[in-house]
Amino acid sequence: MIYSDDDILRSMAEEGGIRIDPFNEFFLQPASYDLHLSDEWMRYRPDMALAMINVYEDVGPLMHRGNSDPIIIRPWEFILCRTIETVSVPMNVQGRLDGKSSIGRLGLTIHSTAGNIDPGNSLRITLEVFNQAPFPITLHKGIPIGQIVFCELKTKCRKGYEGKYKGSEEVEASRMHLNFKKKKYDPLEPIP
């Protein structure tokens, strides 16, 4: 079941319910809540144009971090940004990040694959922003950049999210390399 505006407000009033901080009821939509862009970003370093991404290695050295308002995203550029809001979901709710249609109509996507906010997580959401337009796009701190939809689980989770990005407060580069611990990945073998 997807939460309506009343469901979101009801959960926020409960102990251990959904938390959105800061929260302003003005940004509550019929079945979602608008999230806003911060001025923090990470982008691939232009001097690393001939580098290669290896999923077994840390990509952090290929990127640089900054703050700016506005954030200018060149055509076909991928950057990481984050939301102003911290979103917390209880053990019986899954959050789903979606783009705003007005942002999408500019040619901008805000997440490649990381659209789920797992039960038990509380974080400022890192956005995977990609400019598909043939022109640079200028984004400003505080604009509605996306929306979060909350879905009630049929049953409460046995355990909450305990992954690499739990409680993230800043823009986070991929930590995929931590899955492998310098060992080649075998999908049939559990990772210790």
- Catalytically annotated residues: 128
Largest CA distance in the chain: 52
Provide DSSP, 36-93.
EEEEEEEEE-GGGTT----TTS--GGGEEEEE-SSEEE-TT-EEEEEEEEEEE--TTE
Q: What is the DSSP letter of 163?
A: S
Tokens matching residue 185: 């990945």
CA dist 1 and 50 (Å) reads: 47
| Residue 36 near residue 144, CB atoms below 8 Å | yes
| Residue 86 near residue 22, CB atoms below 8 Å | no
One-letter identity of residue 59: V
Backbone angles phi, psi at 172, to 5 degrees: -120, 125
CA dist 41 and 31 (Å) reads: 28
